């Protein structure tokens, strides 16, 4: 959805000083998990500002690893796989931490735990809908697979969560609850978009 990003060469130029430290790209990937775990603990302890800061730090490390890999000429399938797996753990830690932080709460007549379940399901299915289309050979064109974006990919989900957390610090818990509900709905809508796209492509090639 939001595709305005720095070009790889611009990112690499900014990251080059970090690459000079000699730390392996996978080490940068692993480092992202540590502030995420600490952020989860802070949310569990009801410290939203520090929890937000730590998860933003985890996101910063996540941006660094790929750029460092390019600068050091160490881009590998293995590294990309580990990065993708740990990204999902970090995202889950955020949702779980927020669920503990909010505690018993209701939004639009439904317990927030139900909204969190919908959020996690939508986040998982967004990725699964594309991966399964590839696994089953329904969509064989790799460019088509990569273009199956939709309304809300992982980056946008996290951005909405972080904005909701930030506004909630100043405007109250209801803003965070709204951000969670909107993200859950849009994540599931994105899943449906990807499923429809895969089916349409598969039928056109049948």
Task: Enter the pTM of the model.
Answer: 0.84
Burial class of residue 179, CB neighbours in 10 A (0-12, 13-18, 19+): buried
What backbone phi and psi angles, to 5 degrees, belong to 103? Answer: 65, -155
Nearest to 68 by CA among 11, 150, 147: 11
State the pLDDT at residue 82.
85
Q: What is the helix, strand, coil percentage profile of the chain, to 5? A: 80, 0, 20
What is d(CA 45, CA 32) in angstroms, rounded to the nearest whole number? 20
State the pLDDT at residue 18.
56
State the pLDDT at residue 69.
67
Q: What is the pLDDT along the chain (206 residues), one digit of tens a residue?
A: 444 444 555 555 555 555 555 566 777 788 889 999 999 999 999 999 999 999 999 988 877 766 666 766 667 788 788 888 998 999 999 999 999 999 888 888 899 999 999 999 999 999 999 989 888 888 887 788 777 777 888 889 999 999 999 999 999 999 999 999 999 999 999 999 999 988 888 788 76
Nearest to 23 by CA among 86, 59, 71: 71
135 to 122, 125, 140: CA distances (angstroms): 19, 14, 9
User: If you search the block for the tokens 């939709």, which residue do you land on?
Assistant: 150
Q: Residue 107: CB partners within 8 Å, gap ≥ 6?
A: 115, 177, 178, 180, 181
């Amino acid at each position: 959805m939001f595709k305005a990003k720095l070009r790889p060469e611009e990112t690499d130029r900014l990251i080059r000083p970090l690459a000079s430290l000699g730390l392996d790209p996978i080490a940068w990937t692993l480092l992202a998990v540590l502030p995420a775990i600490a952020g989860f603990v802070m949310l569990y302890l009801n410290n939203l500002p520090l929890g937000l800061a730590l998860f933003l730090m985890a996101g910063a490390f996540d941006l660094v690893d790929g750029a460092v890999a390019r600068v050091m000429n160490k881009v590998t399938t293995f590294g990309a796989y580990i990065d993708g797996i740990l990204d999902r753990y970090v995202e889950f830690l955020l949702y779980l931490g927020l669920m503990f932080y909010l505690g018993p709460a209701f939004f639009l007549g439904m317990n927030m735990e139900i909204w969190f379940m919908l959020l996690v399901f939508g986040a998982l299915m967004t990725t699964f809908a594309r991966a399964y289309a590839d696994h089953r050979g329904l969509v064989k064109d790799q460019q088509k697979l990569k273009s199956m974006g939709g309304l809300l990919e992982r980056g946008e989900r996290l951005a909405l969560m972080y904005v909701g957390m930030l506004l909630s610090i100043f405007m109250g818990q209801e803003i965070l609850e709204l951000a969670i509900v909107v993200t859950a709905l849009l994540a599931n809508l994105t899943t449906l978009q990807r499923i429809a796209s895969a089916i349409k492509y598969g039928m056109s090639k049948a």
